[in-house]
A = this chain, B = another copy of it.
Amino acid sequence: MFHYLCLIMGEFELIAQIQQLAQGLPTNGFEGIGDDCAVLEIGGGEALVFTADALCEGVHFLREAISARALGDKALAVNLSDVASMGVRPVAVLLSLSLPEGLSAGWVEELMEGFTALAHRYDVALIGGDTTRSHSGVVLNITAIGRGKTSHLKRRNAAREGDIVLVSDRLGASSAGLRDVLQGNPHTQLAHIHHHPIAEISAGQWLGARAEVHAMMDLSDGVASDLKHILKASAVGAEVEMCDIPVAEGATLHDALTGGEDYKLLLTVDQAMREQLMRDFEATFHRPLYPIGHITAAKELVWLEKGVPTTQDLVGFRHF
């Protein structure tokens, strides 16, 4: 929800302070601090969810490395991913564009085409926003709104001892693609994946409807880092087998564990229902879910290498 991807000035203190100031405020029925989205129940067994992201030129993307169309697509995909990872359907977005002088009309047109093409694909409304001049490069801000049954909402705090931990796809391709981009090769297959992440919009909603799925979130900072959010919110631990981590073609295990921006799903599932869920998922999406470990009562994350605990320190992706 508060995505402090980029820790300004090493500002853990700032983040803590913002959260402290926010906690003093009323909630007005909104909840979900710590999840991918804030949640508002609206009656009739339904809820709305809300998330916001800022994408800044030079920080989150290089204008010379990504096409305007890909940027429009990715900016929206990342936000829809946050909504779908709560288990509900993205229904609307607000888009604010801050654009430097001298930007060509064609560039902006392509950006909007990439954005609206994805919005069309998932039937998402564009309900408002802002367009301003910027003295700070291109800045995109998106607020995404989702809607679904309250009973389908998946939160980070719902993992239970004994749950199986799964991921929804092979990992690390985006991180490997970013490496290509930074090395001056923005046209490789992996760079394409980095610029066109396929977020789990449909799978997230499908998994939302399954009661045996307990905790869920999207992988934006790498499983080594993101799993800790679920463990902390749920006050549990986990044992994860490194050899079971599904590594995308062209990526390394390190990419898969610590790479950012995969936008695949990380979930925990009732162990008794795991096989049924995996069968149904594969029958629906024609690809597997990948079990990588299980939830434990001990409040720590233990990485196993062929069953043997390893003390290797895994640090999640930092966006810069």
Chain A residues with CB under 8 Å of chain B are: 1-6, 8-9, 11, 13-15, 17-18, 21-22, 24-30, 32, 37-38, 40, 42-44, 48, 50-60, 91-92, 94-101, 103, 105, 108-109, 112-113, 116, 119-120, 123-137, 139, 141, 143, 145, 147, 320
Contact = CB atoms under 8 A, between A and B. Distances in A.
Nearest to A102: B9
A237 B55 CA distance: 42
A133 B59 contact: yes
Most chain B beta carbons < 10 A, residue from A58, A59, A94, A98: A98
Contact of A50 (B29, B43, B105, B145): B145
A128 B17 contact: no
A4 B129 CA distance: 9
Nearest to A145: B50
B136 A22 contact: no
Contacts of A127: 1, 27, 30, 32, 38, 50
Contacts of A130: 2-5, 52-54, 141
A82 B54 CA distance: 21
Contacts of A8: 99, 101, 103, 108, 131-133
